[in-house]
């Protein structure tokens, strides 16, 4: 089974998680970057850019059977970059895991992620959450 890890990381926490996982899993790792850091917060223009970048990423990951996505929870939901990946990557028949970081709460994020994967006929393998405030203590 061919596997890839895709991460979105503004401050580096998710990059660190993805790179450690890639070493353990012995698989490829790719960054999903919407552009410079300020573009992440430009919701109106940012959605179109994220869609285009996710569609380009889709072409690169079509050959993989398993996709692992690492990214943050912002305002109780997966970051817009993660939602764009889940919306525009071809997930049909693929096994998908998500490892999400948060600082305060992730409320209904698990349900949102699960629905997005299954809505594309993907197979949910695992959805896990890690409090980044505790990462420095490990």
pTM: 0.89
Could you tell me the pLDDT band of residue 138, with boundaries at 50, 70 and 90? very low
Alpha-carbon span 118 to 27, nearest angstrom: 24
8-30 as b/e, with b when 16 or more CB fall inside 10 Å? bbbeebbbbbbeebbeeeebebe
Domains in the chain: boundaries? 3-137
Cα–Cα distances in angstroms (integers) from residue 60 to residues 28, 89, 130, in the given order? 11, 10, 28
- Long-range (24+ apart) CB contacts under 8 A made by 106-111 are 106/73, 106/76, 107/76, 108/76, 108/77, 109/73, 109/76, 109/77, 109/78
Mean pLDDT score across all residues of the chain: 88
pLDDT (average), residues 112-129: 97
| pLDDT value of position 101 | 96
pLDDT tens digits, residue range 70-98? 999 998 999 989 999 999 999 999 999 99
Say which CATH class 3-137 falls into. Answer: alpha beta
| pLDDT value of position 37 | 56
């Amino acid at each position: 089974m061919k596997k890839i890890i895709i991460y979105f990381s503004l401050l580096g926490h998710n990059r660190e998680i993805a790179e450690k996982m890639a070493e353990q899993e012995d698989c490829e790792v790719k960054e999903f970057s919407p552009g410079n850091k300020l573009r992440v917060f430009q919701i109106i223009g940012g959605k179109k850019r994220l869609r285009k970048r996710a569609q380009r990423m889709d072409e690169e990951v079509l050959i993989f059977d398993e996709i692992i996505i690492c990214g943050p929870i912002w305002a109780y939901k997966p970051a817009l970059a993660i939602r764009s990946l889940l919306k525009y990557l071809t997930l049909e028949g693929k096994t998908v895991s998500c490892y999400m970081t948060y600082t305060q709460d992730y409320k209904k994020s698990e349900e949102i992620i699960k629905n997005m994967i299954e809505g594309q006929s993907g197979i949910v393998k695992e959805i896990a959450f890690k409090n980044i405030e505790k990462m420095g203590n490990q």
